A and B are shown apart, each in its own frame.
Chain A
């Protein structure tokens, strides 16, 4: 079945450093979504990417969907302590069933 992997599993950065998490699917995706889960909280939607090679930005966050629509990345520029949490990608191959990635837990050291 469809599998979605994320790397790295954990990342500790100094405040101000950049951070990137990568998402790889075993199958071609029709679209991909990114979520952020703060410690003790629930996943909150960040963005959806649909087109091959699509790039979207939200302030310091840059999201990219691969040309083959099998991978995606989230890049945070100049991390802040408020960026702490676990970032999940979630992809679907054309149905309703979103398969979530394994998540990347980000810790930002002040």
Chain B
């Protein structure tokens, strides 16, 4: 596609349930990022994938969070046993290579009730 595609755009889930957020990066982009943005706040780095290298998971806030990237393209961010503090916009981004322009998707707005 022309841009970074994320789904779902909005998700309301009950506390304790698991959620999966999907990201389809720009075709050919080898670098993929996940960031989290709480309402009115800045962007919090979660995880980074680059090609076939081991991902940098240093930003994941707890072991309830995990992410994978299949075939060097689509990525899924999974949050297990969701908590209310997980409510935020989850932004996926991709770039052609390291230190190039980062293109963001529209985000997945997660609300945990």
Residues of chain A whose beta carbon lies under 8 Å from any beta carbon of chain B: 30-31, 33, 41-45, 48, 88, 90, 92, 95-103, 105
Contact = CB atoms under 8 A, between A and B. Distances in A.
Contacts of A45: 101-103
A17 to B, nearest CB: 23
Interface string B98-110: 1101111111000
B45 A42 contact: no
Contact of B106 (A31, A42, A103, A105): A42
Interface string B56-67: 101000000000
A103 B35 CA distance: 14
12 contacts: A31-B99, A45-B103, A90-B43, A90-B102, A92-B99, A97-B48, A98-B33, A100-B43, A100-B45, A101-B42, A102-B42, A103-B41
A97 B104 contact: no
Interface residues of B, number: 22
Contact of B42 (A41, A88, A92): A88
Interface of B: 31, 33, 35, 40-43, 45, 48, 50, 56, 58, 91, 98-99, 101-107
Contact of A42 (B40, B98, B99, B104): B104
A45 B4 CA distance: 14
B45 A33 contact: no
Nearest to A5: B42
Contacts of A42: 91, 104-107
Contacts of A90: 43, 102
Given A30-B99, A92-B99, 13 more contacts: A31-B99, A33-B101, A33-B102, A44-B104, A45-B103, A48-B101, A88-B43, A90-B43, A96-B48, A97-B58, A100-B42, A102-B41, A102-B42
A98 B99 CA distance: 8
Contacts of A88: 42-43
